[in-house]
Chain A
C-alpha cells in the first residue's frame, strides 16, 4: 500500500510482529493435534505437546512382588527385581511408598520403612526390599516413583485408529459420499446456468430470484420433511430409508442453488460475440453449450467442485440425518463426533482421528487454493 511507504522502521517492524502473532495464533491449534497424534500415548497425558521434544516425567505407581518372592540373604529376607518388570525401561529420579509423598526418596538411596525394613530403588528401576523378619501376606509393598522418558514419536496411533477404531472404514465411507455428491450437481447446474444466462424464456427472472432466495434458506428447513419423505419412500418400496443414494441426492439438492448461482454469473460474463458467431454458423444451443460454454467455464466448474467437495466432506448434519451410524455408513465427521463421546479422554485417538479427517481437505485446499479463492470471491462479492 502506498500509505505505508516511508513509515519508520519501528512501525514496519510492528506490522511484521502483529502479522506474526496472528499467524501463530491461527496455526498453533492445528499444530497441536498434529504433534500430539505422533506422540506416544503415555507421553500425551504426561506433558503438554509443546514440551514433546523434552523428556517427559510422570509419577507412576506399582506394587512390588508379594512375600512368596522373598529369598534369604545374609540373615535378612530380601525381595529383588525391577519395578518395570519386563516392560520398557525408563529413568527413575525419585520414589516413595506413600501416595501423599510419591517422590520422598531419591533414586539410589535406601529408604527406611520402619521396623528395620529398607527399600532401595535405583535409577534403572531395580529395587531391593530387605527386612530382618520374613515378609507375610500375598500383597506386595506399594511403591510410587517419578520416571522420565525420552521423547518418543510413533505412528502407532495412526495404525490403531485406522484399523481398530474404524476410522479407515469411515474414510472410505466419506469418499463414497463425497465424490458422487460433488460430480452429479455440476452437470445439472451447468445446463440450468446456461439457460438462465443466455436463453430467453418466460419466468426466467423469477427463477433467478428464487434461486438467489434459496441460497440462504437454512438447511434446517429441509431436514424434517425430507426425513419423513425418505422414511415414506423406504416403507413404500420396502427399502432402507438411509442409503448412499439418498445422501447423494440430498447433497445435490442442497448444493444446487450455489452451483447455479456461481456458474450463471460466470457464464453470463462470457463474451457475447463468441455465442453469436457460433449461432450464425448454425450451432444450436446444445452445441454452443457443449462445445463453447463448458470448456470456457472450466475455472468456475473447478471452483464449485472444490466448494462442494469441502462442504460435503466436512458436513456432519446431513450425514447424521440421512445416513446410519453402522460401520458401513458412518462418515468421518460423524465417527469423530462419536469418538468424542466414547473416547473422551483418549487424546491419542482423538487427535489422530481429527488429523485424518482434516488431511484431505487440507491437501485439496492447498493444491487448489487459487480456484477456491476465485469461487469465494465470485460467490460472495457479487452475491451482494
Chain B
C-alpha cells in the first residue's frame, strides 16, 4: 500500500511536471526554431507569423490527442463494432439491431428508459423550481438549500445503499427496520418488498435519482429566478395577480430557457443511468435499463462486443438531438465573439 501511495504521488509529479515541461519546452523550441529577436526586421516578422501559426496547436495539441483517443475514436469504433459479431471480427450487417428489437430484455429496457425519461427530468425540474421559489422567501432559505443540495455530492452507489435501507423489508412478525415499511405498518398497511414489485419498482429506483438531482435543478433555477426583473413582479402584484398566477404566468415564462437547460441536462443523465439499477436490482424484476444492459453484455459470457456496442449506439442516438441543439446554441452565442 505504501508503494501505491508513493506511485500515486510520483504520478502526480510526473504528470504535472510532464505537462509543464511539455508546454514550456515546446514553447522554447518554437522560439529557437523561429527566432523573433536578434534577427533582421523582415525575418523577425516572418518568424513571428510562423510562430503564430504553430503555437495554437502546441496549446491545444495534448488535449486534442487525448480527446481523439478517449472519445472521438471510440465513437467511430463503437459504431463499427455494432455491425460486427461478438468478438468484433465478422461483419454481420444489422443482425445486432435485429436481435435488439426482438429481445425481451432490450424492449423492457427501452420501455423502462422511456418511463425514467418521462418522470425523472420532470420531477426534478418541478420540485427544484418549487423549492427554489419557496426558499427565496424565508430567512433560512440558504441553509435549507444547502441541505437539499447535499445529495448531489453523494455517489449513486452510496445513495442506493441509503435508499435500500429505507426500502428494507423484513418478514412478517419481525420488526420493520426499513423506514418505508415501518410507516406503512404503522398505518396498518402490509409491508412490501418494494424493489421487486414489477413495474412499480422502477419508481422506487427513480426516487433515488430525483433525490440526488433536485438540488441541481434547484440551484440553477434559483439563480435564474434572481435574474427576473423585479418590476415585472411588482407590476403583477399591482394588477392583483395571486401568487399562483405570478408563478405560472410571470416567473416560469421568463426562465423558460433555463428550465430547458436543466431538463436536457437531467435527460442526458437519465439516459446513462447505470449505478442505481446495478446496485438496487441489477435489472431483475423487470427494472432493466439500457446502460446496465450494455454493461451486462460487455462482460456476459466473456463479453459480446457487437451487442454491447449496439446498445451504446441506441443511447447515443437518443442524445444526438440534444447535442445538435447545444452546438447550435453555442454557435449563436460565440458568433458575435
Contacts and interface: CB of A to CB of B under 8 A. Distances in A.
Interface in A151-210: 169, 172-173, 175-176, 179-180, 183-184, 187-189, 191-192, 194-196, 199-201, 204-205, 207-210
Contacts of B193: none
Interface string B211-230: 10011100110011000001
Interface stretch (A76-84, A112-120, A297-305, A351-359): A351-359
A64 interface: no
Contacts of A224: 74, 77-78, 81, 298, 305, 308-309, 312
B236 interface: yes
B268 A4 contact: no
B71 A45 contact: no
Interface residues of A, number: 125
Interface string A351-384: 1011001100110111001000100110011111
A26 B147 contact: yes
Contacts of A30: 150-151, 154, 162
Contacts of A268: 337
A184 B15 CA distance: 6
B57 interface: yes
B219 A2 contact: no
A354 B208 CA distance: 15
B295 interface: yes
Nearest to A327: B1
Contacts of A340: 160-161, 164, 279
A222 B233 CA distance: 48
B12 A3 contact: no
B77 A225 contact: yes
A192 to B, nearest CB: 4
B131 interface: yes
Which secondary structure characterizes the binding site on chain A?
helix
B223 A220 contact: no
Contacts, number: 361
Contacts of B164: 340, 350
A187 B16 contact: yes
A191 B74 contact: no
Nearest to B151: A26
A351 B163 CA distance: 11
A226 B74 CA distance: 7
Given A220-B315, A358-B158, A285 B55 contact: yes
Nearest to A321: B298
Contacts of A18: 134
Contacts of B243: 3-4, 7, 11
A73 interface: no
23 contacts: A15-B137, A36-B165, A49-B177, A169-B1, A188-B66, A192-B63, A195-B56, A207-B60, A209-B330, A218-B268, A222-B71, A224-B74, A225-B73, A225-B77, A226-B70, A244-B7, A284-B27, A316-B279, A351-B161, A357-B158, A361-B153, A369-B149, A384-B330
Interface of A: 1-4, 7, 11-12, 15-16, 18-20, 22-23, 26-30, 32-33, 36, 44-50, 58, 169, 172-173, 175-176, 179-180, 183-184, 187-189, 191-192, 194-196, 199-201, 204-205, 207-229, 244-245, 248-250, 252-254, 256-257, 260, 268, 284-286, 289, 310, 313-317, 320-321, 328, 333, 336-337, 340, 347, 350-351, 353-354, 357-358, 361-362, 364-366, 369, 373, 376-377, 380-384
Given A187-B16, A187-B20, 15 more contacts: A29-B163, A29-B211, A45-B170, A175-B8, A183-B16, A209-B327, A220-B315, A221-B315, A222-B78, A224-B308, A316-B155, A317-B275, A347-B177, A377-B223, A384-B326
